[in-house]
Amino acid sequence: MTFEPETMQEKEKITPEHVYLNRRNFIRAGLVAGSTFATGLAYRVFNPPPPKEIATAEIKDVKTTVWAAEKPNSFEEITSYNNFYEFSTSKTEVARAAADFVTRPWTIEVGGLVDRPRVFAIDELLSFQQEERVYRFRCVEGWSMVIPWIGFPVRRILDEVVPTSEAKYVAFETFYDGKTGMNPDVKLPEGRNGMQSSLFAGIDFPYVEGLRLDEAMHDLTIIATGLYGKQLPNQNGAPVRLVVPWKYGFKSIKSVVRITLTDREPPTTWNIASPTEYGFYSNVNPNVAHPRWSQATERRIGEFGTRPTLLFNGYEDQVAHLYDGMDLRKKF
């Protein structure tokens, strides 16, 4: 299994049928289809109110920072078109395949080159001051969205464990268990047993990713705990995932259980799978083509046609200094 460019993928338009795949919206979808009063409801389902309104309804004292001028994608779009190979390699199947993924209890173990290694329980991470960050999100395949994440800077965790002076990189690892989901006591129903094998997905599990320490410490780099003011749906990487908005989407590793500070560049899943196509840095860059397709434009989910891809996904002013003096074609 490899990534395919958008143009080669079967065009999967986000239509009302896709709401069907999201079990929680099944009844609402039925109402929309069946009701003569549907117009207003359909409008709200597919064009939810601005993120701030929703966020304040469910998460108190959340500060919103909008890092994208464009309209956010709808909750349905964000939660029904996903890449999460542990569950399915079909973007429209992930939500259904991940529906029974058990994400409690959950811990993140943080160690390696740190003074104070420790384990964070999910409740502690959720008790950190949460913020809303509206970011562009660009997949290497050529599609993009605008997503109102909820979360906190990764720096918040790193400050707590205190990296040593040798620490130069941060490695992240996704939970993986092809049989049981998180809790070994929970027996999942046949055919709904969560994660699939590496052999089936075509990439190694557990999924691993990495950043340079200064990239991880950057304020735009967050651990997301939710989106649209609600805790993360399984298909988006529940209960906690990385979001690095200036890098291709595959760097934003989902369902993180381990963070390790290291002195050398850590292995990363897509680089292992295809080193000539996916580098360690993977900064969004319209001027560096993928060996099999151009990265100059992208298709925003929900729009027709394409828009130009922006250098560093539009976050050049914030992050370009991290790569001063670096050849972005060699360090792709």
Ligand X SMILES: Nc1nc2c(c(=O)[nH]1)N[C@H]1C(S)=C(S)[C@@H](COP(=O)(O)O)O[C@H]1N2
CB of 189 to ligand X, least distance (A): 23
CA distance 297 to 318: 21
Distance CA 105, CA 307 (A): 41
Instruction: Work out the angle at residue 258's Cα, subtended by the Cα atoms of residues 181 and 114, and round it to the nearest 5 degrees.
Output: 160
Neighbours of 311 (CB within 10 A): 18
Choose among ligand X, Mo ion, none what residue 252 binds, the Cβ cut-off being 5 to 8 Å by kind: ligand X
Compose the 217-236 pattern: x for residues touching ligand X by CB under 6 A, - for all others. -------------------x
The structure tokens listed for 277 are 């196509």
Q: How far is the CB of 262 from Mo ion (least distance, A)?
A: 24
The binder of Mo ion chosen from 74, 83, 144, 255 (CB under 5 A): 83
Number of H helices, E strands in the chain: 12, 13
Whole-angstrom CA distances from 29 to 76, 103, 126, 228 are 11, 26, 31, 19
Give yes or no for residue 249 binding Mo ion (CB under 5 A): yes
236 binds, among Mo ion, ligand X, none (CB under 5 to 8 A by kind): ligand X
Assess 250 for contact with ligand X (CB under 6 A). Answer: yes
Three-state DSSP state, 236: helix
Q: How far apart are CA 130 and CA 150, in angstroms?
A: 6
Residues binding ligand X: number (CB under 6 A): 16
* Six-digit token string for 165: 């002076």
Residues between 142 and 171 with contacts to Mo ion, criterion CB under 5 A: none
User: Does 252 interact with ligand X (rule: CB under 6 A)?
Assistant: yes
Tell me which of 240, 253, 284, 319 binds ligand X, using CB under 6 A: 253
Q: Name the residue whose CB lies closest to ligand X.
A: 249
Give which of Mo ion, ligand X, none residue 309 binds (C-beta under 5 to 8 Å, depending on kind): none
**Interface with ligand X, residue 313, by CB under 6 A:** no
Among 75, 149, 207, 228, binds ligand X (CB under 6 A): 207
Find out whether 85 and 203 touch, Cβ atoms under 8 Å: yes
Q: Tell whether residue 249 is a contact of ligand X (CB under 6 A).
A: yes
With respect to ligand X, which residue has the nearer C-beta, 167 or 301?
A: 301
CA 77, 79, 83, 86: dihedral to nearest 10 degrees?
A: -160
Helix (H) or strand (E) holding 55: helix 51-58
Residue 86 near ligand X by CB under 6 A: yes
Rounded to the nearest whole angstrom, what is the least distance from the CB of residue 187 to ligand X in the complex?
23
Q: How far is the CB of 86 from ligand X (least distance, A)?
A: 6
The CA-based angle 101-198-17, given to 5 degrees, is 50
Residue that the structure tokens 């651990």 belong to: 223
Binding of ligand X by 85 (CB under 6 A): yes
What binding mask, one character per residue, do residues 288-317 give for Mo ion by CB under 5 A, x or -? ------------------------------
> If you ran DSSP here, which 8-state letter would residue 212 be given?
E
Stretches 12-20, 76-84, 92-100, 265-273: which one binds Mo ion (CB under 5 A)? 76-84
- Cα separation, 164 vs 153, in Å, equals 19
**Residue partners of 295: CB distance under 8 A and separation at least 6:** 140, 142, 284, 285, 286, 288, 289, 309
- Give residue 278's Cα distance to chain centre: 17
Contact positions toward ligand X, by CB under 6 A?
82-86, 139, 174, 207, 236-237, 249-250, 252-255
**What are the residues binding Mo ion (CB under 5 A)?**
83, 139, 249-250
